[in-house]
Amino acid sequence: MFGGERPGYVDTRYGNPTVAALEGTLATLEGGETAGAYASGIAAIPATLPVLTLVAGDTVVVAQDVYKATSIVLMTVFACLGMNVRLVDMTDPDQVERTMRESHPKVVMAGVSSNMALPCRSLGRCGMQWRRIGFYS
């Protein structure tokens, strides 16, 4: 397995069957070829946003209640690179739609719940709304 001569899992840092099943299910649900799962949102940011070819002037719309470290990274590092970061209340569909229509974001970041004390949002419902206004998840 280490040499790649046969498939399998050697170490969870390289993958494991539970994460592979989650990624496969997410890809199927979203109609994508693949999906990636990370241990935390803050781990996913540097792994995913650069491959989306974000450049100065691009807009990233982010749920205002994201994990504090996430908003700090976005508001400092990405803003310093010239990207526009817009925080939005993802529980307010009108505000989300207005922000997305005004800013034409390249990326929208939201989670089911960033804080267990906050209400959960339906990512399926968000996805349907985003597709309706022309943003594809």
pLDDT digits (tens, 9 = 90+) for 16-74: 899 899 999 988 987 888 888 888 777 888 787 777 788 899 999 988 888 888 888 88
Position 105, amino acid: P
Residues 50, 63 contacting (CB under 8 angstroms):
no
The mean pLDDT of 122-129, rounded to a whole number, is: 69
pTM for this prediction: 0.67
pLDDT digits (tens, 9 = 90+) for 92-121: 888 888 998 899 998 888 765 555 555 556
The domains of the chain, with CATH numbers, are 1-37 (no CATH), 39-132 (3.40.640.10)
| CA-CA-CA-CA dihedral for 90, 93, 96, 97, to nearest 10 | 160
Residues 106, 58 contacting (CB under 8 angstroms):
yes
Position 96, amino acid: V
Sequence-separated (6 or more) residues with CB below 8 Å from residue 100: 61, 108, 130, 133, 135
